Amino acid sequence: MYKEMELDHTGLELDLPVEETKRQYFYMAVCRKWVENFEKLNHRLPKACVVNMGCQMNARDSEKLAGILAQAGFEEEEKEEQADFVIFNTCTVRENANMRVYGHLGQLSPVKKKRPHMKIALCGCMMQEPEVVEKLKKSYRFVNLIFGTHNIYKFAELLAACLESDRMIIDVWKDTDKIVEDLPSERKFPFKSGVNVMFGCNNFCSYCIVPYVRGRERSREPEAILREIRRLAADGVVEIMLLGQNVNSYGKTLDKPCTFAELLQMIEEIDGIRRIRFMTSHPKDLSDELIEVMRNSRKICRHLHLPVQSGSTEILKKMNRRYTKEQYLELVRKLREAVPDISLTTDIIVGFPGETEADFEETLDVVRKVRYDSAFTFIYSKRTGTPAAAMEAQIPRGVVKQRFDRLLTEVQTISAQVCAVHTGKVMPVLAESVNDHDPSLLTGRLSNNLLVHFPGKEEMIGTIVDVKLEECRGFYYLGKQESVRTKL
Ligand code: 5AD
Ligand code: SF4
């Protein structure tokens, strides 16, 4: 990693470095010069606001953007309308994600009229859609910078160009096979961090736009991942979340293949790391080897997010999920046999084209059989360019809404029962924050991902403590600390 000191010594008078990481540090130094100038003229530092609008992969990308802005000398600003530079890291998985972005831009338009020096940037998944960029070019001329998911590593370079220019800069790539390591990154929490293990997706589920906007699967080298985690551990991080669109196919495309299960075993050896989480798992790629590693692990959390999407084998086939209802249920059985206390969560889509009442009943049946700890339920959203968008028998809104409400009731009733089973037990909790509503309480997380509120002091944040789970309130517990733990 290049530290701040080295950045100060980056000789702007020298030639532009060839190696990509160094090149980007060079541009961070260029931005710093701009920041120095801004400070001289305005007697304050420029303020930057990073707005994350997507999933955990996006959230991690936002931390990288924030890291680069911090290196360039910007101050962090939470309110987008008060920033000198605001960047929206967008999502496009469902249509309402896109609508939110236009909503934000609509609100910023009059702000920018009053503060014309303000720079507005857009990046992330939504920018990979050509129709979106066309619309921005036509109707949102006040946007200064647009780039996509594949060249996010070039942010410092694009920022430098944007700060110096009043034109709209657009740099969106169709794909890349490049992974640039060792760029700076902020961390929202000092004690836990996301770690990318792979990028992109090769699955092409028929409803999903992600393979088109995130490109083909690329895995990071295990050594680069281990190096990052060792560094995080040395910096006080105790919990990591390994991130990828389909972590179970990690390593398949590496020159020296390495399975996800093997990677987990190597990570387990790293001192200081106490909890390991990962997402997202595709049921078709979840191997017996991985289940075995989970069974034997002291650090892998007792939680698996295993999106089912639908309980109907017929719909699963149309979704191109490549498993049947029975195969999914068998996988759940194997997981529970190996790790009896595992908590399972899922994603479910309602109203996929052609979904009949009988298909929907199959989904309810899976929910009742698996008894998820929680489920994210989505109304099918038509994404232009995906095979499902061209399918016949799109389901009327009223029918979808009615099924969605029935599913939600079922999911919530079951999860309230499932979550309550630990009442009375003493379990390790990672203290994460001071409670939003009551400052005498801390909010922490169990290995199975449930939240627990308990009396405690701010100094305990980032430590793992034993908490007696006294009362379950639906989706969280109220508890009391038993004793400070030193080991898991
Ligand atoms: N419509 C509704 N939900 C979708 N998801 C992905 N694409 C769509 C879509 N077109 C959901 C899936 C996925 C989660 C991240 O978003 O359930 O697992
Ligand atoms: Fe994440 Fe997918 Fe949304 Fe991109 S489109 S932010 S990958 S959920």
pLDDT for the residue numbered 12: 62
* Res. 3: pLDDT tops 80: no
Q: What are phi and psi of 54, to 5 degrees?
A: -130, -155
Going by alpha carbons, the residue nearest to atom 12 of ligand 1 is: 347
Indicate which atom in ligand 2 lies nearest the CA of residue 90. Answer: 6
Mutate to test the pocket of ligand 1, among 280, 349, 397 (most ligand atoms within 8 A of CB): 349
Summarised one tens digit per residue, pLDDT across range 79-113 is: 999 999 999 999 999 999 999 999 999 999 999 99
Q: Is 147 in the pocket of ligand 1 (CB under 6 A)?
A: no
pLDDT band at 214 (very low <50, low <70, confident <90, very high): very high
Ligand at minimal distance from the CA of 307 is 1
Task: Provide the total of helices (H) and of strands (E) in the chain, helices listed first.
Answer: 14, 19
Query: Is-contact 199 244, C-beta < 8 A?
Result: yes
Summary mean pLDDT of the chain: 94
Indicate whether residue 381 lines ligand 1 (CB < 6 A). yes
pLDDT at 15: 79
Q: Using a 6 Å cutoff on CB, does residue 208 contact ligand 1?
A: yes
Q: Report pLDDT for 263.
A: 98
Pocket flag, ligand 1, residue 345 (CB < 6 Å)? no
The proportion of the chain whose per-residue pLDDT surpasses 90, expressed as a percent, equals 93
CA distances in angstroms from 271 to 75, 303, 485, listed in the order given: 34, 22, 16
Q: In this predicted structure, what is the pLDDT of residue 297?
A: 97
C-alpha closest to that of 193 among 161, 139, 238? 238
- Does 14 have pLDDT greater than 80? no
- Whole-Å CA distances, 12 to 33, 227, 367, 373: 10, 29, 60, 54
User: Which ligand neighbours the alpha carbon of 349 most closely?
Assistant: 1
pLDDT in tens, 115-155: 999 999 999 999 999 999 999 999 999 999 999 999 999 99
Cα–Cα dist 429/481, whole Å: 9
The confidence score (pLDDT) of residue 177 equals 87
Cα separation of 144 and 344, whole Å?
43
Q: How confident is the model at residue 487 (pLDDT cuts 50, 70, 90)?
A: very low
pLDDT in the model for residue 16? 87
Using the predicted structure, report yes or no on whether residue 180 has a pLDDT greater than 50. yes
If residue 302 lies in a helix (H) or strand (E), which one and from where to where?
Answer: none
* The two three-digit tokens of residue 207, written as one number: 């409803």
Segment 178-192 mean pLDDT: 93
Is the shortest distance between the CB of 380 and ligand 1 below 6 Å?
A: yes
Separation of 125 CA from ligand 2 center, angstroms?
6
Tokens 């490049």 -> residue? 178
Cβ 332 vs Cβ 286: under 8 Å: no
pLDDT band at 2 (very low <50, low <70, confident <90, very high): very low
pLDDT tens, position by position, 437-455:
999 999 999 999 999 999 9
One-character DSSP codes across 127-188: GG-HHHHHHHHHH-TT--EEE-STTGGGHHHHHHHHHH--SPEEE--S-------------S
So what's the pLDDT on residue 4? Answer: 41
The residues that bridge with 278 in the sheet, in sequence order, are 242
Q: For residue 37, what are the CA distances in angstroms to 28, 157, 259?
A: 14, 18, 49
Confidence band, pLDDT 50/70/90 cuts, at residue 10: low
Instruction: State the average pLDDT over residues 46-61.
Output: 96
406 C-alpha to ligand 1 centroid (Å)? 19
Ligand nearest to the Cα of 210, by number: 2
Q: Which of 208, 401, 403 to mutate to test the pocket of ligand 1 (most atoms within 8 A of CB)?
A: 208
pLDDT tens-digit series, residues 316-365: 999 999 999 999 999 999 999 999 999 999 999 999 999 999 999 999 99
pLDDT at 6: 45
Mean pLDDT, residues 411-425 taken together: 96
Give the model's pLDDT for residue 474. 85
